[in-house]
Amino acid sequence: MTGIPTRRIAVYPGSFDPFHNGHLDIVQRCLPIFDEVVVAVLFNEEKRPLFSVDERVAMVRHLLAESFPGAPCRVESFSGLLVDFMARLGARTVVRGLRAVSDFEFEFQMALMNRRLNPNVETVFMMPKEDFSYLSSRLVKEVYGLGGDLTGLVPPSVLALLAERLHPEGHPENRPGHNA
C-alpha cells in the first residue's frame, strides 16, 4: 500500500526530567510491538528543568543501553512541533503513557491537535505497571530533594545523578544523625 512506511517507528516524547522506572516500563512495552522506539527528549529550557537536554539525552541513552542491550531503540532531542520531528524521522506513531484519568484530558487534547496538524500521525496510549502509576518526574525531584528513598522507582544511575545535583553534600538519609 502506498504512503504506509514499512518500518513501524514509535516516538515516545517527553521532558524526562528525570527518566524513571515508569518511563522505562513504557519503552519495554513498546519494544515487542514496534520496529524501532525513539525516545524524544523535549528541549524545554524555559521550563527550568533540573537536567539540561544534553544531560537527559545522555541519561536515557545510558539507561536504554543498560536495560535493553542491542534493542532497536534510540534517544534524540527535539524542539518545535512533534509532528515535524516525526516527519523528519518517517514516524507515524506517538506513544504516551497514561497513569490515571487525570492524565486523560491533556493527552486527549494533544493527540487530537497532533492529528489535526498531521492526519497521518496516530497516538497510542500505554498503561505502565500499577507500581508506577503514581510516579512522576516532579514527584521524584520533590521526594528525593526532601531526602526520601526512591529505590525501585528510579534506576540507580539516575539516583546517582539526582544525588549529585540535589545533595552534593550527601543524601540526608546517609548523613550522621539522620533518624527518619
Cβ-Cβ contacts under 8 Å for 144 (sequence gap 6 or more): 150, 154, 159, 162, 166, 167
Going residue by residue from 129 to 168, which x/- string records binding to ligand ADP, judged by CB under 6 A?
---x--xxx-------------------------------
Binding window for ligand ADP (CB under 6 A); candidates: 1-9, 48-56, 127-135, 140-148 = 127-135
- Residue among 29, 62, 99, 167 flagged as catalytic: 99
Binding window for ligand ADP (CB under 6 A); candidates: 11-19, 64-72, 115-123, 169-177 = 11-19
| Burial environment of residue 156 by CB neighbours within 10 A (0 to 12, 13 to 18, 19 or more) | exposed
Is 141 known to be catalytic?
Answer: no
Is 20 known to be catalytic?
Answer: no
Is 67 known to be catalytic?
Answer: no
Give the other-Cβ count within 10 Å of 38's Cβ.
22
Q: What is the dihedral of CA 110, 138, 87, 52, to 10 degrees?
A: 150
Shortest CB 12 distance to ligand ADP, Å: 7
**Which one, 97 or 155, has the nearer CB to ligand ADP?**
97
| CA distances to 11, 31, 50, 159, 177 from 172, in Å | 37, 37, 19, 14, 9
Binding window for ligand ADP (CB under 6 A); candidates: 13-21, 52-60, 142-150, 158-166 = 13-21
Question: Should residue 96 be labelled a site residue for ligand ADP when binding is judged by CB under 6 A?
Answer: yes
Question: Should residue 14 be labelled a site residue for ligand ADP when binding is judged by CB under 6 A?
Answer: yes
| Burial environment of residue 24 by CB neighbours within 10 A (0 to 12, 13 to 18, 19 or more) | buried
- Residues forming contacts to ligand ADP in the complex (CB under 6 A) are 14-16, 22-23, 26, 96-97, 99, 103, 128, 132, 135-137
